[in-house]
């Protein structure tokens, strides 16, 4: 907290120095209420996003049941389409790793990639596995389904052949177990929000390190930095390891959607920043309106604009790319994708330094120890 | 030959003694000390030089990197240390193979020449072992076979506990009172019923009992450096039989090897700190904390200058560097102990306590606390903490409830952190991040 006193002091000093040019010598009163922002987040963004995701998951399960009952290429394609839709929908909830989601380790349980195909094959062979174990997080969720739906053969005929071979029972059973696990976790998270966490979250409207806004802003930035920026782009690009790892793209077995998954996550992040209601154009109180409200001087209004412009610029460069796997495999270095990554990276200091210091929020995470 | 040397030494001593007598005859109450009065006074380290005067001409040639030669031939060798660090890394891997038997891991730890214990055939052929150098320094254990045996038994115990308690529960979810696996971010950790990761205890414990103990309490000790006729031989450039180095040079290099034995370019080790899982890695980690930036360079420079001083037969400068190394490396161990206690506390204080993350941190902290008994205060024969004090800390760490780390409180973690930090020149807050 000491840091922020110093920052406040510096800001005061800057004010003092520039007061000649300002309309008023008095700093604007901070009138922003954090409570309504939390209500907007919980009721108009987080809960509706989870509800929609949950529905997509139900559709996915139904498509699987259809495929199981009548195993053919056409039903495989429907099953895959439902998987893509649910995976896209997942991108709108992946950032909410707080409360019930954190308790069940939702994000790693649903989307740890690259998936561990050796482990999956060993589970298929033995029929003995406990998907609730930490070590099985890389053998379940969307990436495991990616392997099971897209990775078992080069063509749809080959894949369907697997599901009609002597391995049929094991494959169907494992797919069902993975889906059941995803449904169970999602239900727990949604129930958690409906049965008390919403109130806990909204009522914890102070401004301390343990207040909901401070906590969630940390979670939001952590998601942006580690999962969106690094997980979906930086790691496959080899930014951290020094050598490209195209096999680490999200949805590796259906690599033409990796870019779309990223863009969905980027859009969800920007929409959250702007307080946009789920699946609507209506906006409520948000990090953006908080920044505008904090200070009516031009500087601060600029920051929310700067952040939105940077989101837009990032999107523009990513949209222009080919699919991620092709970008990485066919270009060395993958210059265009690296340029796009750099634009995404520019959002990190804007959020993690400029935005949080304006809001007097401390960052509580550091780069992992790595051992 | 020996007699001739003895006479030479004696006459040199007499010569020096008479000079000192001359100096002492000068009245000392005449004037305030100056750098030109022909007397060693004030804060001078020799006559009219050192301290606040211009540096003394030590005759030391301090190279830019850790490169020392005699007649064009390299004199730096620490193959035995490199071998043990490699053995250590393989032992740590075995802790994570739930099909390994206790006998197998134990055999790796107490390797015997020719036994087929390791993946690396060179290690199998070696007559070195990690266990024989655990708690094996001359200064601390030369006359304390009891503690040595107790400490080695503890390392043996962590091996058997891993195999007997944790391996059978490899595919069980850990909970209070039950060993098993637990998530730490995207990693999976394997802990005892009390939340301890035995591989971390073994790893961080070896940082103290092997590397720090061998460096600070053995090879940098005058008992070892000046053993037998090492000084005479070094003074006269009499090398070890069939070698390019004097015994004293080699002892110093063996200390160096425990710190830098696996770096790609051992002459410039700070370029890739983290080359092994032991002291090297954590010199790098502490150096990476802005509060302690530069400590890696200070340690390296002291090693280098001390070695150059041996070449120049300047044992005063050599020993000054040894004291610097003792203080800095001891500080590295203490900083990491406090760091992990505080990281563990932070993980437990989350809205949803991150038990797996906390247990990983606190198990590392446990090992670093254990290692504190192998530190060494500069200009002292004592470690910063006695074995008894360390044992008490560890009892406290696990003593808040019957399930060990599952029950540990912030109060305990803070009290331990403060108790460690207060003997050093850093604060808990500095070490925490």
Answer whether residue B205 shows pLDDT above 80.
Answer: yes
pTM of the model: 0.85
Nearest to B159 by CA among B213, B103, B115, B208: B103
**Is the pLDDT assigned to residue A25 strictly greater than 90?**
no
Task: Find the Cα–Cα–Cα–Cα dihedral A15, A19, A22, A28, rounded to 10°.
Answer: 50
d(CA A100, CA B119): 45
Q: Are B351 and A102 an interchain contact pair (Cβ–Cβ within 8 Å)?
A: yes
| Residue whose C-alpha is closest to residue B102's, from B196, B168, B173 | B168
pLDDT on residue A23: 41
Average pLDDT, chain B: 92
Tens of pLDDT, residue by residue over B356-383, are 999 999 999 999 999 999 999 999 999 9
In chain A, whose CA is at the least distance from the CA of B433?
A366
Reply yes or no on whether the pLDDT at B11 is more than 60. Answer: no
CA distance A2 to chain B (A): 12
Closest partner residue to B183 (CB to CB) among A98, A99, A105 is: A105
Round to whole Å and give the CA distance between A91 and A27.
40
pLDDT at A1: 39
> What are the tens digits of pLDDT across the range A154-182?
999 999 999 999 999 999 999 999 999 99
Pick the residue with more confidence: B25 or B433? Answer: B433
Q: Dihedral (C-alpha) A232, A237, A243, A244: value to the nearest 10 degrees?
A: 90
d(CA A88, CA A57) in angstroms, rounded, equals: 11
A98 interfaces chain B, CB cutoff of 8 Å: yes
CB contact at 8 A, A171 and A162: yes
Question: pLDDT-derived band of residue B178, with 50, 70 and 90 as boundaries?
Answer: very high
B188 vs chain A: nearest CA distance in angstroms? 6
At B94, list the tokens: 């075995």
pLDDT, mean of residues A277-296: 91
pLDDT of A22 above 90: no
pLDDT of residue B34: 82
Average pLDDT over residues B395-401: 98
- H/E stretch holding A82 reads helix A73-90
Contact A215/B at CB under 8 A:
yes
CB pairs under 8 A between A and B: 42
Which of A141, A138, A86, A134 lies closest to A114, judged by CA? A138
Tell me: the pLDDT tens digits for B288-311? 999 999 999 999 999 999 999 999
pLDDT at A28: 43
A276 DSSP assignment? B
B171: which chain A residues are within 8 Å (Cβ-Cβ)? 130, 133, 135
- List C-alpha distances in Å: B49 to A16, B15, B39, B324: 53, 21, 10, 21
pLDDT of B50 above 60: yes
Point out the least confidently predicted range of A27-36, A151-160, A239-248, A293-302: A293-302
- Do residues A228 and A265 touch, judged by C-beta distance below 8 A? yes
Q: Over the stretch B222-255, which tens digit does the pLDDT of each residue have?
A: 999 999 999 999 999 999 999 999 999 999 999 9
Closest CA to B35 of B58, B57, B52, B22: B52
**Whether residue A35 has pLDDT greater than 90:** yes
Predicted pLDDT of residue B48: 82
State whether A134 and B356 contact (CB < 8 Å).
Answer: yes
Kindly tell me if the per-residue pLDDT of A26 is higher than 50: no
**Count of CB atoms within 10 A of residue A188's CB?**
14
Residue reference for tokens 């949950």: A54
Give the pLDDT score at A39.
97
Torsion, CA B96, CA B100, CA B104, CA B105, rounded to 10: 20
| Of A5-19, A128-142, A294-308, minimum mean pLDDT range | A5-19
CA separation for the pair B86, B106 (Å, rounded) = 16
pLDDT for B10 = 45
Torsion A124-A130-A131-A134 (CA) sign: negative
Q: What is the pLDDT of residues A301-340, one digit of tens each?
A: 589 999 999 999 999 999 999 999 999 999 989 999 999 9
Question: Which residues in chain A touch residue B185, judged by CB atoms under 8 angstroms apart?
Answer: 108, 368
Residue B45, pLDDT above cutoff 80: no
Q: What is the pLDDT of residue B37?
A: 85
Asked whether A98 and B354 are in contact (CB, 8 A), the reply is no
Query: What whole-number distance in Å separates Cα of residue A35 and Cα of residue A64?
Result: 42
pLDDT on residue B51: 79
Round the CA-based radius of gyration of chain B to a whole number and report it. 24
Q: Which residues of B touch A103 (CB under 8 A)?
A: 352
- Our CA-based measurement puts residue A116 at a distance from the nearest CA of chain B, in whole angstroms, of 13
Q: Give percent of chain B with pLDDT exceeding 70.
A: 93
Residues of B with CB under 8 A from a CB of A: 171, 173, 181-183, 185-186, 188-189, 277, 281, 343, 346, 350-352, 356, 361, 364, 433
The model's confidence at residue B121, banded by pLDDT at 50, 70 and 90, is very high
């Amino acid at each position: 907290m000491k840091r922020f006193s110093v920052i406040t002091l510096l800001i005061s000093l800057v004010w003092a120095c520039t007061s000649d040019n300002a309309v008023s010598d008095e700093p604007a009163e901070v009138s922003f209420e954090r409570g309504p922002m939390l209500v907007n987040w919980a009721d108009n963004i987080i809960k509706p996003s989870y509800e929609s995701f949950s529905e997509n998951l139900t559709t996915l399960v139904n498509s699987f049941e259809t495929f199981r009952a009548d195993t053919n290429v056409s039903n495989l394609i429907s099953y895959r389409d439902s998987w893509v839709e649910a995976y896209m929908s997942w991108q709108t909830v992946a950032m909410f790793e707080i409360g019930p989601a954190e308790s069940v380790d939702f994000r790693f349980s649903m989307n740890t990639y690259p998936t561990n195909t050796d482990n999956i094959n060993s589970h298929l062979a033995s029929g003995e596995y406990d998907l609730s174990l930490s070590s099985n997080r890389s053998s379940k969720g969307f990436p495991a389904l990616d392997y099971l739906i897209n990775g078992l053969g080069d063509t749809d005929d080959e894949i369907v052949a697997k599901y009609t071979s002597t391995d049929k029972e094991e494959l169907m059973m494992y797919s069902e177990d993975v889906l059941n696990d995803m449904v169970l976790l999602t239900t727990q998270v949604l129930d958690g929000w409906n049965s008390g966490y919403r109130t806990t979250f909204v009522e914890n409207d102070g401004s301390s390190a343990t207040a909901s806004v401070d906590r969630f802003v940390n979670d939001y930035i952590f998601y942006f930095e580690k999962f969106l920026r690094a997980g979906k782009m930086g790691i496959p690009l080899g930014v951290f390891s020094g050598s490209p790892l195209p096999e680490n793209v999200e949805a590796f077995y259906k690599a033409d959607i990796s870019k779309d998954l990223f863009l969905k996550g980027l859009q969800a992040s920007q929409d959250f920043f702007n307080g946009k209601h789920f699946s609507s154009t209506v906006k409520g109180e948000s990090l953006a309106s908080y920044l505008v409200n904090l200070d009516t001087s031009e500087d601060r209004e600029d920051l929310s604009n700067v952040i939105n412009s940077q989101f837009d610029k990032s999107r523009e460069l990513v949209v222009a790319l080919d699919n991620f796997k092709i970008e990485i495999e066919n270009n060395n270095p993958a210059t265009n994708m690296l340029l796009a990554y750099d634009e995404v990276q520019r959002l990190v200091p804007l959020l993690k330094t400029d935005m949080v210091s304006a809001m007097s929020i401390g960052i509580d995470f550091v780069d992992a120890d790595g051992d | 030959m020996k007699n001739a040397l003895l006479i030479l030494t004696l006459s040199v001593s007499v010569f020096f003694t008479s000079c000192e007598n001359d100096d002492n005859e000068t009245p000392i109450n005449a004037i305030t000390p100056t750098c030109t009065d022909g007397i060693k006074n004030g804060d001078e380290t020799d006559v009219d030089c050192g301290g606040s005067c211009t540096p003394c001409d030590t005759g030391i040639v301090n190279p830019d990197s850790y490169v020392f030669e005699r007649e064009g031939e390299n004199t730096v060798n620490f193959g035995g240390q490199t071998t043990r660090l490699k053995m250590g890394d393989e032992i740590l891997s075995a802790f994570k193979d739930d099909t390994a038997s206790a006998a197998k891991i134990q055999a790796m730890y107490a390797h015997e020449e020719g036994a087929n214990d390791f993946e690396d055939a060179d290690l199998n052929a070696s007559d070195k072992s990690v266990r024989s150098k655990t708690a094996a320094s001359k200064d601390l254990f030369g006359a304390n076979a009891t503690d040595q045996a107790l400490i080695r038994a503890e390392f043996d115990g962590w091996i058997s506990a891993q195999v007997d308690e944790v391996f059978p529960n490899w595919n069980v979810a850990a909970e209070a009172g039950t060993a098993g696996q637990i998530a730490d971010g995207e990693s999976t950790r394997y802990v005892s019923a009390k939340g301890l990761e035995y591989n971390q205890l073994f790893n961080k414990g070896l940082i103290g009992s092997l590397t720090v103990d061998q460096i600070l309490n053995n090879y940098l000790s005058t008992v070892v450096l000046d053993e037998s006729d090492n000084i005479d031989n070094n003074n006269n450039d009499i090398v070890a039989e069939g070698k390019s180095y004097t015994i004293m040079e080699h002892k110093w290099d063996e200390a160096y090897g425990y710190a830098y034995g696996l770096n790609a370019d051992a002459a410039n080790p700070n370029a890739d700190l983290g080359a092994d899982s032991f002291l090297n890695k954590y010199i790098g980690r502490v150096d990476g904390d802005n509060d302690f930036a530069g400590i890696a360079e200070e340690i390296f420079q002291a090693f280098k200058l001390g070695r150059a001083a041996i070449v120049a037969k300047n044992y005063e400068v050599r020993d000054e560097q040894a004291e610097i190394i003792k203080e800095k490396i001891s500080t590295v161990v203490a900083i990491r102990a406090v760091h992990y206690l505080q990281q563990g506390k932070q993980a437990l204080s989350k809205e949803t306590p991150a038990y797996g993350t906390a247990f990983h941190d606190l198990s590392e902290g446990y090992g670093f606390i254990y290692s504190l008994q192998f530190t060494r205060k500069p200009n002292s024969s004592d470690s910063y903490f006695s074995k008894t004090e360390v044992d008490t800390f560890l009892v406290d760490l696990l003593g808040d409830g019957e399930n060990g780390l599952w029950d540990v409180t912030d109060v305990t973690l803070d009290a331990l952190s403060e108790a460690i930090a207060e003997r050093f020149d850093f604060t808990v807050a500095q070490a925490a991040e």
